[in-house]
Amino acid sequence: MATITPLPSRNKLKAPKWDSQNEEQLPTFFEEYETVAVDAGIVDDDEQMKKEVLCYVDTLTMRFWHTLDTFAGNDKTWDEFKSEILSNYPGAEKLPEATTEDLKKIVRKYAKEGISNMQLLAQYHREFTTTAKSLAD
């Protein structure tokens, strides 16, 4: 039998965290929460999953999520609750779209500052490639 680990308290290093100002991080937050929920042995308990996730968000978010129809409904699953939450955060459904202006900013930044070592070259490469590839998609 697997060892059950209690859910981490909200201020612990391993606790799932989500800044409600960054909607695009919400799916990652749910993945992290579900990972600790598996370890705590509550992943199959929809009511417990819905209740405990509120411990990891700010007060305003907690109050809002508490009002959702899928939270109160005992017949509603964790996945239905999560879907309803995601539907209220349009920025969470996809990564922010890059623009050609974003790419130009990266080029200007490094042209102005210069690339004086391998670390800066690698950093430029990562930023440029990430933005350029998102434009191509």
pLDDT at 51: 96
Q: For residues 41 and 32, give the distance between their C-alpha atoms in angstroms, rounded to a whole number.
A: 14
Q: Give 70-90 pLDDT, tens digit per residue.
A: 998 789 999 999 999 999 998
Question: 27-33 contacts: CB < 8 A, separation 24 or more?
Answer: 27/86, 27/92, 29/56, 30/82
Q: Which two tokens stand for residue 26?
A: 């919400």
Listed by start position, the domains of the chain span 23-92, 100-136
**Is the predicted pLDDT of residue 97 greater than 80, yes or no?**
no
Q: Give 101-126 pLDDT, tens digit per residue.
A: 988 999 999 999 999 999 999 999 99
Q: For residues 73 and 79, give the distance between their C-alpha atoms in angstroms, rounded to a whole number.
A: 13
Among candidate residues 5, 12, 7, the one with its CA nearest the CA of residue 49:
7
Which band of pLDDT confidence, cut at 50, 70 and 90, is reported for residue 60? very high
Helix intervals (H) in the chain: 26-40, 46-53, 59-67, 69-72, 78-87, 100-113, 118-136
Say if CB 66 and CB 54 are below 8 A apart: yes
First to last CA, the chain: 45
Find the Cα–Cα–Cα–Cα dihedral 109, 114, 120, 123, rounded to 10°. 20
pLDDT at 99: 86
Q: For the chain, give me the number of helices (H) and strands (E)?
A: 7, 0
pLDDT at 94: 64
